[in-house]
Amino acid sequence: MRLKQVLFSQGFGTRRECEALLWHGLVQLNERVLDDPDEDLPTEGLVIRVRGTDWPYHAQALLMMHKPAGYECSRKPRHHPSVLSLLPAPLRQREVQPIGRLDEDTTGLLLFTDDGALIHKLTSPKWHVPKVYVADCAEPVTPEQVAQLLSGVVLHDDPLPVRAAACEASGAKQLRLTLTEGKYHQVKRMIAAAGNHVSALQREAFGALRLPADLAPGQWRWVEREAIAPGL
């Protein structure tokens, strides 16, 4: 792929802006300054350095973030800053978006991509991709509440019962739930329907991918597609 197309595809601006990066000597490959926009580069395993930062080439972006509280999963947030503001400009430029949404006060594993087909697969109930949440509750968790969440609770806007794929008490006032669909405020509403109230909520896992212990709130890293759902 031509160098100028590599830069453009990875979100480093308009074609003219990408050429300007080259004119100013701001792009390197293995310590060599790249200045020919038409130089042909193999993209397999390609890592270029732009303004001193290493960027691996990805035909389609896929990354995870430890979402902190106080951020909205929207390009046009209403009351809090957008979680997209925590990403570097090239990723925003290539219009990555969250795969599903977490409420502004919900923390934990959040995925982003610019692959629309992947977003559909990972969020559609048809594919049954599990998401694991840990909810701190206002009141002690009872066996009856766990049984209700497993058998199904009715939400006010849906006559059909909504069930957790798995549910257990992980503390005196804590629940761990696995869901395979994503309705609006689903965990909070399910727990409220079972007779308790969520005081804090974190997503621990999405598919086969778990929130890494060494990924601090607000930090992000690249993800391989197979790490989420092998064979998807």
The CATH number for 51's domain is 3.10.290.10
- The structural domain count of the chain equals 3
Give how far the C-alpha of residue 43 lies from the chain's centroid of Cα atoms, to the nearest Å.
25
Question: Rounded CA gap, 188 and 206, in Å?
Answer: 18
**Residues 135, 119 share a domain:** no
Check residue 51 and give its pLDDT: 94
* pTM (two decimals): 0.91
**Residues 138, 24 share a domain:** no
**Residues 110, 215 share a domain:** yes
Domain assignment present for 218? yes
Question: Rounded CA gap, 155 and 71, in Å?
Answer: 26
Strands 153-155 vs 158-162: parallel, antiparallel or unpaired: antiparallel
Q: Nearest CA to 54 among 225, 219, 221?
A: 221
Beta partners for residue 108, in sequence order: 67, 203
**Residues 85, 42 share a domain:** no
Active site residues: 103
Residue 128, helix vs strand vs coil: coil
Q: Nearest CA to 23 among 11, 12, 34?
A: 34
Domain assignment present for 229? no
> What's the start-to-end Cα distance of the chain, in Å?
27
Domain assignment present for 228? no
- Pick from 38, 56, 74: which residue ends a domain? 56
Q: What's the CATH code of the domain at 111?
A: 3.30.70.580
**Residues 72, 42 share a domain:** no
Check residue 170 and give its pLDDT: 93
**Residues 215, 104 share a domain:** yes
**Residues 172, 216 share a domain:** no
**Residues 177, 74 share a domain:** no
Distances (CA, A) of 205 to 55, 66, 132, 177, 211: 26, 11, 5, 11, 6
**Burial per residue of 217-227, b for 16 or more beta-carbon CB atoms within 10 angstroms, e otherwise:** eeebeebeeee
Segments forming the whole domain that contains residue 136: 130-206
**Residues 193, 146 share a domain:** yes
**Residues 165, 73 share a domain:** no
Going residue by residue through the chain (232 aa), what tens digit of pLDDT does each one get? 999 999 999 999 999 999 999 999 999 999 999 999 999 999 999 999 999 999 999 999 999 999 999 999 988 778 899 999 999 999 999 999 999 889 999 999 999 999 998 888 888 877 788 999 999 999 999 999 999 999 999 988 778 899 999 999 999 999 999 998 877 789 999 999 999 999 999 999 999 999 999 999 999 999 988 888 776 6
Q: What's the alpha-carbon Rg for the chain, to the nearest Å?
A: 21
H-state helical runs in the chain? 3-9, 15-23, 89-93, 116-123, 143-151, 186-193
